[in-house]
Amino acid sequence: MTDKADITAPLRIAVLLPDLRPGGAERMRVNMAREWISRGYQVDFVLLRQEGELLSSLPEGVRTVNLGAAHYRAAIGPLRAYLKLEKPAVLLAAMWPLTVVSVVSARLARNNMRIVISDHSILSESYKGWGLLHRMVLRASMAATYRFANVRIAVSKGVAADLSSLSGIPRDMFRVIYNPAATVTSGSRSVVPPPELEEITGPVILTVGTLKAVKNHAFLIEAFSRLPTKLNATLCILGEGQLRSEIEKIVESKGLIGRVLLPGFRTDTTPWYRRADIFVLSSRHEGFGNVIVEALAQGIPVVSTDCPSGPREILCDGKYGRLVPVGDVDAFASAMLAGLKEVSGSEILKERARDFSVGKIADEYLDAMFPHCRARDSA
């Protein structure tokens, strides 16, 4: 593949994703598409399956392409056909193994396009329990294909180091671009709360994330149960996922029904952040941690596990929030208690969040995708 985009062609960005079910990578692509369209770029969302709650959130002007692929390998042929027919200037793919599929399909299409791949998690941790054969496939597929991408993006320094180790490609060949997770508000945070929180008078502790094992909600509930009852605090776990019934059983066994809320998935999480007194993240590992930035953007104190790798980078080694060792329940409970007593320096937190604004990150992606055009535009 040539490293030079055809600057005479329409500047169309093809965003490749499995689907548009709610997730950090999917949501950030929707936000970025809105920004790119406002700047005059064309955007296609090329989906293995045209499904997911975020379909309704796509900005006007975005075109969706359904590859109709039941699995990743089945997407290679349809994706190649799309690339040959539409000839986008850039193919932007997120998340292994779709990154591998994108490189293979683009090579087969033999188009003069830039291939930009990005990974959003620490893959060695995400697939830790999948066995030796899977790990060999992971390493081999990355080593064989990632070097043919024009740009390799990692959402944090920790992810970049992990990708380099897995693929055997030098670390300096991975470009770190943080996720665009901030919409900084101004003025008072006092707004009409969600109906589920209208009757709550005590402090609200909020976490946002899919109900899955890596988010470690059982650990969070245990830490919450150790807070003094007189605080009259409520823990709100905003999200949906396969572990809902298991989490509900834990809440019941701890005698926390009514004190731990599970409202499910919400497209608009802003009212929940604005009502919260503190935000918490209990993950075992994170590629980045969009929700931490979203909390900072609302000026909310943050407590997070010091998991690899995003939280420490976002919070600048603890300057903008509390970091607690993974698995230390008592330390997490103490940090939550301290956070609730804190007089928040909300403007300082919002200022940090601006480092992750959609506009700023959109510029960084455009510089990666269209270096020659961008250089020409800024000359």
Position 254 scores a pLDDT of 97
Q: How far apart are CA 79 and CA 205, in angstroms?
A: 44
CA-based angle 39:180:90, to the nearest 5? 50
> At residue 221, what are phi and psi to the nearest 5 degrees?
-65, -40
| Domains contained in the chain, CATH given | 12-180+357-378 (3.40.50.2000), 195-356 (3.40.50.2000)
148 CB neighbour count, 10 Å cutoff: 13
- Cα 368 to the center of its chain, rounded Å: 19
The pTM (predicted TM-score) of the whole model is 0.85
**Residues 26/92, Cβ–Cβ less than 8 Å:** no
Question: Which amino acid, residue 367?
Answer: D
Tens of pLDDT along the chain (379 residues) come to: 434 444 444 599 999 999 998 877 898 899 999 999 999 999 999 999 999 989 999 999 999 999 999 999 999 999 999 999 999 999 999 999 999 999 999 999 998 899 999 999 999 999 998 999 999 999 999 999 999 999 999 999 999 999 999 999 999 999 999 998 766 554 445 567 799 998 899 999 999 999 999 999 999 999 999 999 999 999 999 999 999 999 999 999 999 999 999 999 988 889 999 999 999 999 999 999 999 999 999 999 999 999 998 999 999 999 999 999 999 999 999 999 999 988 767 899 999 999 999 899 999 999 999 997 754 444 4
Q: How far apart are CA 181 and CA 360, in angstroms?
A: 11
- Which H or E run contains 45? strand 42-47
Order of strands across the sheet with 204-208? 260-264, 234-238, 204-208, 278-281, 302-305, 322-324
CA-based angle 281:120:43, to the nearest 5? 120
Q: What is the 3-state secondary structure (H, E, C) of 61-107?
A: CCEEEECCCCCCHHHHHHHHHHHHHHCCCEEEEECCCHHHHHHHHHH
Residues 6+ apart with CB under 8 A from 298: 185, 189, 270, 273, 274, 276, 346, 350
**Residues 272/325, Cβ–Cβ less than 8 Å:** no
CA-based angle 39:40:46, to the nearest 5? 105
**Residues 163/142, Cβ–Cβ less than 8 Å:** yes
DSSP 286: B
Position 10 scores a pLDDT of 56
Position 23 scores a pLDDT of 78
> What's the pLDDT tens digit per position in 162-175?
999 999 999 999 99
> What's the pLDDT tens digit per position in 118-141?
999 999 999 998 999 999 999 999
Position 150 scores a pLDDT of 97
> At residue 83, what are phi and psi to the nearest 5 degrees?
-65, -40
Nearest Cα to Cα of residue 315 among 300, 328, 330, 334: 300
**Residues 237/279, Cβ–Cβ less than 8 Å:** no
Six-digit token pair at 252? 């019941």
Tokens 């995400």, residue?
126
Q: How far apart are CA 359 and CA 361, in angstroms?
A: 6
> At residue 280, what are phi and psi to the nearest 5 degrees?
-130, 150
Six-digit token pair at 359? 């506009």
Q: What is the DSSP string of 224-263?
A: HHTS-GGG--EEEEE---TTHHHHHHHHHHTT-BTTEEEE
